[in-house]
Structure 1
């Protein structure tokens, strides 16, 4: 450790400042004992201010769509404007950011309030829904009143409501959602969270052995000077101003970057760093994670049985249950200038600074968006010769007639999205729950296909996300009608 400290002190840039170490990997003890000497390399994010129209679609049998309790809103096959989140309903403001969990959504508005909707069994909504009005079916009523045997939804969970007991005085700059936990990042670097974590055996808990389920926002004191959060299925990553990554939650697939002994399982319920630093960006899928350092190297760890981490054995082999037990350099992604990563249950997308999208991981539900006749040689096939996964990051093609550049990406458990630089959305993947938003067909979509519908045809989509069986996007209406029509014609020409 002394040698490393001396190297840091002696490496000066031309302006006399300390150079950042080239490697992002170290021991946890080194990071812990050197914390005060590490430079500040990441800035706190600025609050988001762009007012968004919010669209939802997919299957909402667990109140995921936030369209109210009516049973007719349980299946929405194309993007639909959420009527509860308009400027009129929100009192002169709109939603400026959102995060999508497995079965719930958090939405931040321009007045620094968080709205939530979806299933609340784990306390993820951050508000009391126990006194919800129950809408019961009349068993003697006419059959034509509803063809939905489940009846209407829980009114409080299916309608966006305000998260309770959030701190006053600090601006919220990010929201994050796992399957069973919600979190908010404040402008001063503090993190508040609520809900719980689950594991293979059921409920794991929330914080150490003290709290099993947290119903309202609680400050997590182990998180300080945080600049970004990244949510998995049942774990949460956090990145601080010094480039150190912390992990909290379930670690049974090594998604916490360290080994959790079964007899010490509750140790995972205390946020800890694990030797990964000099990082500028983090991302997470359900059970696998990514980090990008200040030299643009990409690291991955966690579950990798479909090659979703972007790494195989020396001979291209994959194994069931394959795991990267600690952050591992991914050569195929490093130096590609990756700026954004979005990951689902077993697949991953990466967006480069040039606007290109790479995809890899599980194939059988068409998650990666590569047509069968264009699969790369690295495609892993089962014993019957059927494609199982694409473990090598592979560039996606959105049109054979011209280049389509992408500005942001999003994924659900088994479906994916790419948003073009001018705000159209391409979708692909598992379609039985209408998650891609492409209409009534439940056939899986094997290649990127543009969403065409009345609600969003004049919207510049800026943000997109998805859960297990539903999706959410946010956009700004294009007021110039000629510009909106020109945009439509451009993509129709590309798709002829």
Structure 2
């Protein structure tokens, strides 16, 4: 996700153009051979995962946070750059468009409507919007040149990027069932099991590319190596896909071992082709920004990738730049019946079958949602000054009612309770928590309670680098009162 700073300004990404690299002939040959071998091997496995079905319930869509890079999709007016509490998106009204699902990247959003149209908004430097916004960009540049005052902080946003628009070039005869978004890439899963994508991947050195032959892919194309896919998830600059046979595929940036395999410098471009890496009998996949997760059919939770703050939940290699080089079981989650797991830049959250939430990773921006006095200090790692650096052991969060799901931004998190209420915690300076003006980061999960969403049962949440998105259904007055009674009772019990 987009890197956070304590200032409410974002530096724009610089477009690198559609420069085509020259791929290594041997790497291409090896990749083709590998794909053929994997296809033959996969055909021998039994089907263990069902195909997902398309979502169909139209929802009201809400956005909030810092949107100086068009992340909020509220149009070009300068006053939409900072939204401190959830606000209804006026361009995607339930009665007219009917959004049924969405995915949030670092600085862009994809939304799917009831008619199988995909909408996008946000920064388009890497082609992630899947539509042409160049005309408006040229106009903005001319307008800037004509203004004497070079300080454009209060200027309007790019209209084409800040206003939701339909993605162009996707198949019309195949239903979209899931969407995913990284910092610089957009991905959709179709009912047929096909995967389509556009944008690019970046690594520590800059743009890595979309494929070995394409630097930036500006329109949707099919990922030919993948078929019978049932789930897709995105990290900061890598993608995981799970197929019906329980095999996991990964591609993108692998410099922190998030692809589950070692990427050699001489064959780095081969990482842009989806490959399996030995995982089988998998029923669920999840991802942080630089680390990844999988849940096996028998309930084991595996993690790999960057682990410098213990965000993999594995008690090893917890220091700057440390990684877990291959899928490794998170032993402290054994027997917890984990059904969902995700992460931010340096923290992670797992959800059990009954709605219990386990959190672990970095602490200094309150990412894990546990107040300092309630930390299990025997499990924490402290720095040279005695300050808590991280909590590498998954720890149950006791200050939340049972939850349905969670979402992680770079340094903040959102959780939806089974009653459709949203709680937020973590980094506060960008308004991504939806709690208004705050003087400090939020250590304890705090309920988002504002006029726009108070009467809604929230169904989906998503976190970007400096903003958040939710969607839900408006309840009748009786159900609203029942829900408030439940939450008040829970909060009273916590205080005892």
TM-score (norm 2): 0.88
Do residues 236 (structure 1) and 233 (structure 2) align? Answer: no
Name the counterpart of 1:292: 295
Deviations 1:356-394 (A, max 9, x none): 000000000000000000101201100100001010000
Q: Give the C-alpha shift of residue 245 in structure 1.
A: 0.3
Asked if the contact 2:184–2:201 (Cα under 8 Å) also holds between the matched residues in 1, the reply is: yes
Asked if the contact 2:60–2:473 (Cα under 8 Å) also holds between the matched residues in 1, the reply is: yes
Q: Give the C-alpha shift of residue 36 in structure 1.
A: 2.2
DSSP 3-state at the match of 1:132? helix
Deviations 1:190-216 (A, max 9, x none): 0000000001000100012x1111000
Asked if the contact 1:247–1:271 (Cα under 8 Å) also holds between the matched residues in 2, the reply is: yes
Name the counterpart of 2:352: 352
Deviations 1:206-234 (A, max 9, x none): 012x1111000000100111000010000
Considering only aligned residues, what root-mean-square deviation do their CA atoms show, in Å? 1.9
| Residue pairs, 1:443-462, within 5 angstroms | 443-462=440-459
Do residues 435 (structure 1) and 432 (structure 2) align? Answer: yes
| Residue pairs, 1:185-224, within 5 angstroms | 185-208=189-212, 210-224=213-227
DSSP 3-state at the match of 2:395? strand
| Residue pairs, 1:302-341, within 5 angstroms | 302-313=305-316, 318-341=318-341
Asked if the contact 1:47–1:171 (Cα under 8 Å) also holds between the matched residues in 2, the reply is: yes
DSSP 3-state at the match of 1:413? coil
Q: Give the C-alpha shift of residue 150 in structure 1.
A: 4.0
Name the counterpart of 1:464: 461
Name the counterpart of 1:41: 48
TM-score (norm 1): 0.88
Do residues 494 (structure 1) and 495 (structure 2) align? Answer: no
Q: Give the C-alpha shift of residue 340 in structure 1.
A: 1.0
Name the counterpart of 2:136: 132
Deviations 1:160-203 (A, max 9, x none): 00000111211100011000000110001000000000010001
Q: Give the C-alpha shift of residue 115 in structure 1.
A: 0.3
| Residue pairs, 1:239-250, within 5 angstroms | 239-250=242-253
Determine the C-alpha separation between the residues in 2 that align with 1:437 and 1:391: 27
Do residues 149 (structure 1) and 146 (structure 2) align? Answer: no
Q: Give the C-alpha shift of residue 30 in structure 1.
A: 9.1
Name the counterpart of 2:119: 115
Name the counterpart of 2:276: 273
Asked if the contact 2:64–2:72 (Cα under 8 Å) also holds between the matched residues in 1, the reply is: yes
Deviations 1:34-63 (A, max 9, x none): 322211111110111111111000000000
Do residues 159 (structure 1) and 155 (structure 2) align? Answer: no
Determine the C-alpha separation between the residues in 2 that align with 1:139 and 1:442: 35
DSSP 3-state at the match of 1:486? helix
Asked if the contact 2:124–2:133 (Cα under 8 Å) also holds between the matched residues in 1, the reply is: yes
DSSP 3-state at the match of 1:37? coil
Name the counterpart of 1:77: 84
Q: 1:446 to 1:28 in 2, by over 3 A?
A: farther
Q: Give the C-alpha shift of residue 251 in structure 1.
A: 0.4
Tell me how many residue pairs correspond in the alignment. 453
Determine the C-alpha separation between the residues in 2 that align with 1:212 and 1:36: 32
Q: 1:120 to 1:74 in 2, by over 3 A?
A: same
Determine the C-alpha separation between the residues in 2 that align with 1:395 and 1:386: 21
DSSP 3-state at the match of 1:83? coil
DSSP 3-state at the match of 2:218? strand
Determine the C-alpha separation between the residues in 2 that align with 1:442 and 1:469: 17
Name the counterpart of 1:20: none
Q: Give the C-alpha shift of residue 334 in structure 1.
A: 2.7
Q: 1:252 to 1:464 in 2, by over 3 A?
A: same
Determine the C-alpha separation between the residues in 1 that align with 2:68 and 2:360: 30
Give the unaligned 5+ runs of structure 2.
1-33
Determine the C-alpha separation between the residues in 2 that align with 1:328 and 1:125: 35
Name the counterpart of 2:397: 396
Q: Give the C-alpha shift of residue 140 in structure 1.
A: 8.3
Q: Give the C-alpha shift of residue 89 in structure 1.
A: 4.1
Q: Give the C-alpha shift of residue 32 in structure 1.
A: 6.2
Q: Give the C-alpha shift of residue 255 in structure 1.
A: 0.6
Q: 1:202 to 1:268 in 2, by over 3 A?
A: same
Alignment equivalent of 1:170, drawn from 170, 174, 182:
174
Asked if the contact 1:433–1:442 (Cα under 8 Å) also holds between the matched residues in 2, the reply is: no
Asked if the contact 1:28–1:274 (Cα under 8 Å) also holds between the matched residues in 2, the reply is: no
